[in-house]
Structure 1
Amino acid sequence: MGKLYLIPNLLGETPIERVIPDDVIHIIKNIKVFATENVKNTRRYLKKIDKAINIDELVFLDLNEHSDIKDIETYLPYLANQDMGIISEAGCPGIADPGAELVALAHKHDYQVIPLVGPSSILLALIASGANGQNFSFNGYLPIAKPERIKTLKAYEKQSAAENRTQLFIETPYRNVQLFEDMIATLSPTTRLTIACDITTENEYIKTMLIKDWKHVKPDINKRPTIFVLYARSF
């Protein structure tokens, strides 16, 4: 009986040895079946892991937002006699990606699920923010429509202040600037905002300031992978 490994991917153009442990690399090199959010991205990643990996010998199964549960169920037979890996487009699978469906099925059918150590932009942003790491929520994407987005931001801020809760969320990179502008115009001047961008890469940018201080700064976050951390308590 095979095992289902949750394989971390890079967060950007980062040297493999900086963020992926040797033990994880050894496991990856011995897996022949991968359920992946982005096949092209995964092929490129595996070649970075080891140029000697023969991509043509591997099986790649689509596991993205368009994957139907019935399709995902057809992947289970692979686990009957070999290991399988889940790889998301960036970071750790199962968080802000569709990998959870296959993981749940594996548990249901008594296959062992093994999470592997690697970079998570959400956790790295949280621990670098200075915000409360004992009570926090990852809220995914905000609504696209501006009225709903502003309403949601205010709700997150209110909850953060009432419950001492850190709020984390993400945005499609080309909407980062608009979201930043909405936060500056909407949130309380004394609310903390952390912007964590291109984490683990040479261009990494992580900064925490009060909203009133962010009004005088224009961070370069357009089209760059970014985690936003909101904490409604002043320094």
Structure 2
Amino acid sequence: MSVADAAELFTIEVGQNANRVTPDLPTFMRPFSGEDGRNLYDSDARFHDAERVGALWAAGALMQSPVVNRPGPFGFSGRCMPSSSLTALSCGEFDGRSEVYFRNIPAGMGIDSELIDDIEQHRFVSSSSPDLGVYRSRNTSRLAGYYPVAVVGQTCFPCLENSRLLSSLAGRSVEVMGKLELSFAILFWGILADDTAVLAGVAPWPSLPQFGNQGEAIVDCLVGLLCDPS
């Protein structure tokens, strides 16, 4: 269902003693604005888009039924920030790697660069990449690789085959989710040479291809989360 259709589905009543959302039903929201391809420079279109997203935020925050990643004071993504460093800082996982900002891609920065943009966005793959600035990067020279862990409620799923790493990261992943006020996300752990891990990024609204071969199990767990009245 589109953002526009979903916003028109709910009615929100605010009373002195209680608030009510109709219909009040288990909800999985993926709120993306600008979905209709409207002109971003059209002030009326942007206003209507913001109003629809605001209505969805209020409905998700106020309804009594289970909501995956229930909207809160910080928006639809818990305490996640656009900056991976700030996200790590907000959940006690900051590893000291500072971010570097570029207006343009530095000359000569190619596919082997040690600088990488936030894990959810793009990599520096060519020094001839178009000038889209501003680029935000962190040094990854210490990392031997990445290990994504999908978390649904209190259950963790390995998006790559390595049960040894999952067993060492499961409890830590659930703890991070609690601090970020999320019930569903993929955590990207950067793995060091000694198999210790640092939080590289968080995807609070992951896509199906990111689940690896765990897609069916993750979907089943999400359905269970939505059916849990607690």
Normalising by structure 2, what TM-score?
A: 0.30
Between Structure 1 and Structure 2, the one with more helix by share is: 1
> Higher RCO, 1 or 2 (CA under 8 Å, sep at least 6)?
1
TM-score by length of 1: 0.29
